[in-house]
Structure 1
């Protein structure tokens, strides 16, 4: 017997209510997560540089127990979890050193990559140490690389992931904007430099999102979760220049990983 639309809707609502009351829906979601094979790839934004609590076994890759991949794995208990993201990684590093755990059984992959290829560490160093004009020129050079070269580099990474893990859901996460404009910073970069750096981050995210979409991957922006927590906001989830540990400069803090990256990944995993 074929149910009417009204009857079908009523049955659906009733089933939803039963699942909610019995906890079956939650149990089903937990079971799904626990049956997942998850691999976390990428650069320092995925390894957790800036969050502290680094796994000594990871050496210079600086994989943090407070990084969003580890936090997600702790909360969801996937059947397997491989964490190969590494500080300083470029696209070529991902393809040559990080893809070993991927296979046909891999269900979920996360990745941040592209910022090192585009030279954003050098951009930030130039802007901190040089004049505004030199800073803005270096930013334009980086954007030129994003236009001409980075798309092909991202294609190589994404194609390599697909070849090794054809059934995996791949979540490509972006980068935050670094500065709150007209914020509470009294010294340092000019507003023009801060605005140009933010625009460059958006530029990189837009290019990355396009390549991810063309490969059928999900692009997940963290700009929204970091809004109100940029440098100069008074509640920053990003390190500013850290002369005592320069490698942590312009990277998320532990709060940035748990409050900025984790919820975005969780909602897209």
Structure 2
């Protein structure tokens, strides 16, 4: 029963994951207006590019950079000396290293970054949890946690060191990921409560690793868990897409309200 109910759903998630990774390599820099704020470079994955927020820059192609993403909102409000937006949907740590660091230089004063979720296999985790049994879901999440413990720190170190080498004077803010589910919430179908708990635990585990590596490199960590509390999937006012059948690639990403209400305040505090 579980398999037949969710086969189409899981297949759509797999297609969305493939589409996101296809766009991971492309990156473009956009310059903003002159102003007193420091030169700002926004790096990272879909949580920084703004997938799910709509209003995408057509020139960004499959990277799906949104004018409603927190980097663009911050730049519009602060008029940095320059604004380079190279975050890209589907990006992993190697994509940031290979395709996104071009705008960084000794004059860069501020950098934001969200990366690590795709390295840890987020898309496969969610597909496994939807398509297979509860025990298999929990096992796959534990496998992702083991990757976060054993392999991800070295990948993050390489990215963070490269940023520091190219922009030694910049304030660097590493952004984390929200918990996806409100437990005991309003959802009547989908994952079990045990699976939702395990998914949230995976997000917490990833955030802890990101915070530790950021601190070890002298970077700030922006924890968005508290700003998204009360706005998770299964809450009364979610700031995260559940399954978006009109645009499956936006599933499990922040809405425009999630970018402006969840990410922007945290980044603004951390950037100062």
- Normalising by structure 2, what TM-score? 0.86
- Give the equivalent residue in structure 2 for 1:192: 194
Question: What does the per-residue CA deviation read over 1:154-206, in whole Å, with 9 as the maximum and x for residues that have no partner?
Answer: 00000000000000000001000000000010111000000000000000000
Aligned residues: 238
Instruction: Quote the RMSD (CA, aligned, Å).
Output: 1.1
- Give the equivalent residue in structure 2 for 1:253: 255
Q: Which runs of 5+ in 1 are unaligned?
A: 1-32
Question: What does the per-residue CA deviation read over 1:197-230, in whole Å, with 9 as the maximum and x for residues that have no partner?
Answer: 0000000000010000000000110000000000
- Give the equivalent residue in structure 2 for 1:9: none
Shift of 1:137: 1.1
Which of 155-164 and 234-243 deviates more? 234-243
Question: What does the per-residue CA deviation read over 1:36-87, in whole Å, with 9 as the maximum and x for residues that have no partner?
Answer: 1000000000000000110000000000000000000000001100000000
Which of 129-138 and 110-119 deviates more? 129-138
Shift of 1:126: 1.3
Q: Which runs of 5+ in 2 are unaligned?
A: 1-34
- Give the equivalent residue in structure 1 for 2:218: 216
DSSP-derived class of the 1:115 partner: coil
- Give the equivalent residue in structure 2 for 1:203: 205
DSSP-derived class of the 2:202 partner: helix
- Give the equivalent residue in structure 1 for 2:229: 227
Question: What does the per-residue CA deviation read over 1:1-57, in whole Å, with 9 as the maximum and x for residues that have no partner?
Answer: xxxxxxxxxxxxxxxxxxxxxxxxxxxxxxxx7241000000000000000110000
Question: What does the per-residue CA deviation read over 1:116-144, in whole Å, with 9 as the maximum and x for residues that have no partner?
Answer: 00001111111112211111111011001
Pairing partner for 2:41 from 33, 39, 46: 39
**Higher alpha-carbon Rg:** 1
- Give the equivalent residue in structure 1 for 2:246: 244
Contact 2:37 2:78 in 1 (8 A): no
- Give the equivalent residue in structure 2 for 1:109: 111
- Normalising by structure 1, what TM-score? 0.87
- Give the equivalent residue in structure 2 for 1:142: 144
